[in-house]
Amino acid sequence: MTKSFSRIAFALLAGAALAAPAVAQDAAKNFNGPFIGAQLGWQQDRQSLTTSTVPPTTTRASGDGLAYGGQAGWDFQVGSSAVLGLEASITGRTGSNRFPTFDLEAGRTINATARAGWLITPEGLLYARGGYSNARFNIRNPAGASETRDGYLIGAGYEHMLAKNVSARVEYNYADYGNDNLPGIGGGARLNYHRHAVMTGVNVRF
């Protein structure tokens, strides 16, 4: 009886010893699996309007606003230190940019991006981001048309685990939405769209 019990106890201890590294390895994968979260930050839209007159003239406008929204995605930890991820987000923004003859208001923005990062600690991820962005702009004062523009987004950031399933991040993003060729009296004009943003976010991980 005693020998049988000893053999069983030894087998259990041996199994636990073999399983411990695997459990520790899984626990170390903080950035692995699905997540959902919210974001808040500062956003600045910059536009320049350049006429085709001779000589051309350029009018620039920039406006700061509060950006807010949410995101969802999936991270994949590769090996002990690399992390790849996919994310979709939607944001809104307050404020507008003022030109001499009209205001340009930024509406909702939808992003679909990929990111690649490196764990500088088991809880800290340094990463770069890039992908597709679609933004809506509305003409105001006087009221005018609205349009959605396709562009690209690139950025970089840092994310840190606050608890077992909660992480927080801060990142900088730059977006470019191309140019509009506008008709006008005495010649056309070119309006281009750029955006800078510093965003903070919190993710809940599953």
**What is the per-residue pLDDT for 31?**
96
**What is the per-residue pLDDT for 14?**
46
User: What is the topology classification, in CATH, of domain 32-205?
Assistant: Porin (2.40.160)
pLDDT along the chain (206 residues), means of 10: 45 43 53 97 88 77 91 96 97 84 85 97 97 90 80 98 96 93 66 92 97
**What is the per-residue pLDDT for 17?**
42
Distance between CA atoms of residues 181 and 147, nearest Å: 13
**What is the per-residue pLDDT for 50?**
83
Give me the DSSP letters along 10-25: HHHHHHHHHHHHHHHH
**What is the per-residue pLDDT for 2?**
43
Instruction: Report the predicted TM-score, pTM, of the whole model to 2 decimal places.
Output: 0.78
**What is the per-residue pLDDT for 95?**
82
**What is the per-residue pLDDT for 186?**
54
> Do the Cβ atoms of 154 and 174 come closer than 8 Å?
yes
Q: Where are the domains of the chain?
A: 1-30, 32-205
Identify any residues that bridge with 73 across adjacent strands, giving them in sequence order. Answer: 35, 87
